[in-house]
Amino acid sequence: MSKKILISGVGLWTPEHVITNEELVDSYNAYADKYNAENAAEIDAGNVVAKPHSSAEFIQKASGIKQRYIYRKDGALDVDRMRPLIPERTDEELSHQAEIAVVAAKKALAAANKKPEDIDAVIVSCAYTQRAYPAVAIEVQHELGISGFAFDMLVACSAATFGMHRAYEMVAAGNARAVLVINPELVSPQVNYTDRDSHFIFGDVATATVVESEETANAEHVFDILSTKAVTRFSNNIRSNFGYMSRAHDADPYGADKLFHQEGRKVFKEVCPMAAEHIETHLQQHDLAPADVRRWWLHQANINMNLLIAKRLLGREATADEAPIVLDRYANTASAGSVIAFALHHDDLQRGDVGVLCSFGAGYSIGSLVVQKR
């Protein structure tokens, strides 16, 4: 390919509300006690399983998460509700997800030194969109005053990287001068706060990147995309069954299987080797070895996963400078984790430094970009 395609700007929106592990566990344990008291007879008869207590120590040790951000804190910790309270907006108002997308997008545009008229396409790529249509991306496009076209795409944890892949291809094909890829990960409505196995995992955030060609780029921190690589392999180990079919089958549309649920241990065991092999093969395409990589912006689901993958690749532990961790603060933010790491840890790299941005998760899906500081 003759013209180089690059990432020229990144934006990050962080919610103002925080839930610490301690707050989350206190609320869940109060809920569990109430549930067990209300169901005491059925639990004693063996018909209902008692809810065990959660523990802040377990959460930090098993995942590395200390806190998470949430778009609206009201309701999520209320033992009589256990889900966030986010008032519905009218069709005339900007939707919640578009609102957070716009904030991240504006920051990415500013970082890339771009105006709305410089952008030809908008991709909103994330784990959930709040409605089927009109596409949230088209709403965002309208709000920002961008011409051209926009669309939504869903690839769970790999939505952000897969979105950047599509942007890369669109710019390479000459179908767009510059593409805005936005990841408004408003995941808290799908978290089962009554399930101790998963109540701690997720946080809300929005990230955005600008992908354009070297012909138009004029920002301060610019990264050539050397190539992109993706793989998917079907697995039921991470699943959410919520969807429009609920109305037709009469099952509870908010039942536990309709929310996020997973076989966390299996995911850990199956995804780690898959991700390490994927990254190694991707680097080989450029005659690069893991030791040649200055920075790893890895998916942020579990600190032990990231340590293991980095160790497999490097043969030793990666330093925090080499493979920054943001999930202690942000928790798992679905597809945005690696982009948050990139947003917070990219401007110290020197010309020629190589970095790898990689997501892994539900699907299974793995998406990587090998980039080089210009």
Catalytic amino acids? 157
Whether the bond between 364 and the residue before it is cis, its omega within 30 degrees of 0, is yes
Task: Give yes or no for residue 190 binding ligand CO8 (CB under 6 A).
Answer: yes
Task: Give yes or no for residue 301 binding ligand CO8 (CB under 6 A).
Answer: yes
Task: Give yes or no for residue 334 binding ligand CO8 (CB under 6 A).
Answer: yes
Give Cβ neighbours of residue 209 (< 8 Å, ≥ 6 apart): 7, 9, 10, 11, 108, 160, 164, 167, 180, 181, 339
Please identify which residue in 71, 168, 202, 342 interacts with ligand CO8, judged by CB under 6 A. 202
Please identify which residue in 35, 58, 149, 242 interacts with ligand CO8, judged by CB under 6 A. 58
Q: How many CB atoms lie within 10 A of CB 281?
A: 12
- Which residue is listed with tokens 């069954």? 241
Question: Which of 108, 138, 361 minimizes the C-alpha distance to 212?
Answer: 108
Q: Which stretch binds ligand CO8 (CB under 6 A): 2-10, 196-204, 211-219, 312-320?
A: 196-204
- Nearest-angstrom CA–CA distance, 209 and 163: 10
The CB-of-346 to ligand CO8 minimum distance in angstroms stands at 23
Please identify which residue in 18, 43, 48, 62 interacts with ligand CO8, judged by CB under 6 A. 62
- Nearest-angstrom CA–CA distance, 234 and 232: 7
Q: How many CB atoms lie within 10 A of CB 232?
A: 14
Q: Which stretch binds ligand CO8 (CB under 6 A): 188-196, 213-221, 223-231, 336-344?
A: 188-196
Smaller CB separation from ligand CO8, 9 or 84 = 84
At residue 40's C-alpha, the angle toward residues 39 and 44, to 5°, is 120
Please identify which residue in 111, 191, 298, 336 interacts with ligand CO8, judged by CB under 6 A. 191
Binding site for ligand CO8 (CB under 6 A): 54-55, 58-59, 62-63, 127, 156-157, 187, 190-191, 196-197, 200, 202, 238, 260, 262, 264-265, 267-268, 301-302, 305, 332, 334, 361-362
